[in-house]
Structure 1
């Protein structure tokens, strides 16, 4: 038996955040939807596909896998038994990651065309109840993100749910409204996967999620999710140290007509613009953007209907959090500390990730003002879980420790911090 590894499938799984076990679960779910009986796959089944021990799964399994992926089996590197080798196009995809990306996006478009074609047979009627179920799952992803931040598990769950939303397009007949809502749901989940990757400092992976989210958002026509994706793109480029790209991406979000209709969206766009100006060391523009963000927030009507992802995090505390980031980057440490205290006082209880990041930034602002003892006491308030498992918090605390040792070597504060972090290592 030819045991050449299926590198195309491996690449697709890595790109979409699937482990062997999670892909097996997704295919089992699709099998149950197709046949009415639960599938019997497990992680070892998928590992056999990747290893090349199984080059052409059974027909029902292939169909379920195609529903999960949105791609034909041959585009995932499988070889029909009647063929001695992969078709040239598939071989080329193994060598050319850009072609693989185009094939994935093409698969999304093909799914849309097939779903919209008149006379297409369907298994069932897809309705808003399916969309509402996905909306509930999206709320769960948002809640997990605010508690835990950029963990890989959140990214993987969001990516899998994006695929589930997309696969519903092929699962039956639906109205155009439902189809648009499904694309919006898929885009929303993909944007959450993108944000989890940003928060976990997995920037190359985040860019892949971003491209797919942008495609899906365009197919949905949903202005709010377009705003979220492009605003996240601005944050991605800001964290990557590319302010010009950050401005360009954030401007796409800010120029959507939604920001002219709803001051709260305008406020978020301006607040993130202020953070980018801070990273670019433009003091006057930073202050102007943040002042405008505050004015827009005060004009926003709390009674207006808004998406769950916006209501879950954007408020006065988040505006102060972005101002803290901006002024810390500018080196205006007293103003940064002011905004940190305001943010911490207003943060809602579920914002555990934001509290850890804000507390860490506050410690940096205090240390930069020469107060090593207070800064160390502040940094010690960061929970060990966030300090050791959240990529952004871990890196900022490592930088804090290095700055503390450089500015106050041999001090009581430095010794206290060393002992404190040693405790993290023992409990890890």
Structure 2
């Protein structure tokens, strides 16, 4: 008898923006949390489930599916051995709100068991619950630095924000734990906001921004307030609203945190410099980056800071922002200097930043009438970033158009055309 396609799983994946490979990756992460070992699932495993070739996955895979989706596997179209159709007890249509209100995932389910007081129905939340959420936050940060801007990252971060809020309403806690859970929810929502900005989904970014700002206020945590308002400045910069960008960035810069820690002051000033560059304010750009550099030199490298700050802000990121600002100003030789210095200091895990910086460096070289050098630089951008990261894709399309206009008929144009053609086979 032929296999029957699993329509319920197919529809859930489409609704949540998952490909077979991305769902397999999410399931493998869940299996590490649940069992301590990698599941070894890949896109072909998920395709077998969707096609109905495997109607009842292994026990560990079923647990991971329920952890990731927040649904019982029978609601995802899987059929227990000995049955001919899914259990009628629960279908996706009967539980539409569960996917949004009761998304608890593997970690939240484990927390629910671990946090219940023996002999009572009352849960007691603690910092161990916060620590588990922070582990997932670190995974989101790592995914962003590797892939950047992807809808899947935005969705996962949003779901984890809901998970943190679900925990708030599931038991008693001290004020410290409550504040930390709100801060975790705000952190996840700010990552969803950043993924949307990076993917040029600006309307979605604004929705995430408003939710993140409210959660940050409830948390009272200065570091996450800084991150959200600093991201807001970047959002307004990318949407051509420099006055709003400066106002939002000023909220971040005026937090007491920037007076306690010069590294936060440096980041706020560097992003201010990028905004001045976009607004064609050369003097403001130079002043802000000079102050940002001075503040960075004053910062204690051993100070305790949030994982998101430690993961990305350093001399390379300061130079990346300076590259963007001077490129916008038309100061191409200074932009090229900062581009080279950024790439020489960039940490290995910063794949997304490397692709963006390399693309901007190619633009700076082309603007100085160096088409061959610019083309050689642009071809170093990995194919996956060139075809899947919205900002990089757009900048490379602009590079190609500028190259054809500046060096029509040259060998550089031919080299670039041949290189772009290879993306169709490798993407």
The reply on whether 1:177 has 2:170 as its aligned counterpart is no
Q: Distance in 1 between matches of 2:63 and 2:205?
A: 24
Output one character per residue of 1:224-271: Cα deviation in whole Å (capped at 9) or x when no partner.
000000000100111111111111110111111111111000000000
Q: CA shift at 1:284, angstroms?
A: 0.3
Q: Is the 8 A contact 1:122 1:172 kept in 2?
A: no
Q: CA shift at 1:191, angstroms?
A: 0.4
Q: Distance in 2 between matches of 1:43 and 1:326?
A: 51
User: Residue 94 of structure 2 aligns with which residue?
Assistant: 57
User: Residue 78 of structure 1 aligns with which residue?
Assistant: none
Output one character per residue of 1:268-296: Cα deviation in whole Å (capped at 9) or x when no partner.
00000000000000000000000000000
Q: CA shift at 1:68, angstroms?
A: 3.4
Structure 2: stretches of 5+ with no match in the other structure: 1-10, 27-61, 79-89, 105-119
Q: CA shift at 1:40, angstroms?
A: 3.5
C-alpha change, 1:411 and 1:63, in structure 2 (3 Å) is closer
Q: CA shift at 1:423, angstroms?
A: 1.0
Q: Distance in 2 between matches of 1:277 and 1:122?
A: 56
User: Residue 245 of structure 1 aligns with which residue?
Assistant: 244
Output one character per residue of 1:302-345: Cα deviation in whole Å (capped at 9) or x when no partner.
12110000000000000000000000000000000000010000
Q: Distance in 2 between matches of 1:354 and 1:55?
A: 39
Q: Distance in 1 between matches of 2:405 and 2:63?
A: 50
User: Residue 67 of structure 1 aligns with which residue?
Assistant: 102
**Pairwise CA RMSD:** 2.9
Q: CA shift at 1:173, angstroms?
A: 1.5
C-alpha change, 1:424 and 1:178, in structure 2 (3 Å) is same
Output one character per residue of 1:390-428: Cα deviation in whole Å (capped at 9) or x when no partner.
100000000000000000001000011011101112333
The reply on whether 1:349 has 2:348 as its aligned counterpart is yes
Secondary structure of residue in 2 paired with 1:172:
coil
The reply on whether 1:297 has 2:331 as its aligned counterpart is no
Q: Distance in 1 between matches of 2:254 and 2:286?
A: 20
User: Residue 332 of structure 2 aligns with which residue?
Assistant: 333
User: Residue 215 of structure 1 aligns with which residue?
Assistant: 214
Count residues with an aligned counterpart: 350
User: Residue 42 of structure 1 aligns with which residue?
Assistant: 76
1:26-175 equivalent positions in 2, closer than 5 A = 28-29=66-67, 40-42=74-76, 57=94, 66-68=101-103, 123-175=122-174
User: Residue 283 of structure 2 aligns with which residue?
Assistant: 284
Secondary structure of residue in 2 paired with 1:125:
coil
Q: Distance in 1 between matches of 2:122 and 2:253?
A: 41
User: Residue 311 of structure 1 aligns with which residue?
Assistant: 310
Q: Is the 8 A contact 1:386 1:394 kept in 2?
A: yes
Q: What TM-score results when the alignment is normalised by the length of structure 1? A: 0.76
Q: CA shift at 1:175, angstroms?
A: 1.1
Q: Is the 8 A contact 2:69 2:103 kept in 1?
A: no
Output one character per residue of 1:115-137: Cα deviation in whole Å (capped at 9) or x when no partner.
xxxxxx95421111110011011
Secondary structure of residue in 2 paired with 1:323:
helix
Secondary structure of residue in 2 paired with 1:241:
coil
User: Residue 111 of structure 2 aligns with which residue?
Assistant: none
Secondary structure of residue in 2 paired with 1:133:
helix
Q: CA shift at 1:41, angstroms?
A: 2.3
C-alpha change, 1:43 and 1:237, in structure 2 (3 Å) is farther
User: Residue 255 of structure 2 aligns with which residue?
Assistant: 256
Secondary structure of residue in 2 paired with 1:312:
helix
Secondary structure of residue in 2 paired with 1:159:
helix
Q: Distance in 2 between matches of 1:56 and 1:357?
A: 42
Q: Is the 8 A contact 2:153 2:192 kept in 1?
A: yes
Structure 1: stretches of 5+ with no match in the other structure: 1-9, 45-52, 70-120
Output one character per residue of 1:344-365: Cα deviation in whole Å (capped at 9) or x when no partner.
0000000010001000000000
Q: CA shift at 1:156, angstroms?
A: 1.0
C-alpha change, 1:122 and 1:67, in structure 2 (3 Å) is farther
Q: Is the 8 A contact 2:182 2:215 kept in 1?
A: yes
Q: CA shift at 1:57, angstroms?
A: 3.3
C-alpha change, 1:402 and 1:263, in structure 2 (3 Å) is same
Q: Distance in 1 between matches of 2:64 and 2:250?
A: 37
Output one character per residue of 1:19-66: Cα deviation in whole Å (capped at 9) or x when no partner.
7999x999954998xxxx95642279xxxxxxxx989837xx967863
Q: Is the 8 A contact 1:317 1:342 kept in 2?
A: yes
Q: Distance in 2 between matches of 1:55 and 1:389?
A: 31
C-alpha change, 1:226 and 1:43, in structure 2 (3 Å) is farther
Q: Is the 8 A contact 1:401 1:417 kept in 2?
A: yes
User: Residue 423 of structure 1 aligns with which residue?
Assistant: 422
Q: CA shift at 1:202, angstroms?
A: 0.6
Q: Distance in 2 between matches of 1:337 and 1:345?
A: 12
Q: Distance in 1 between matches of 2:347 and 2:130?
A: 28
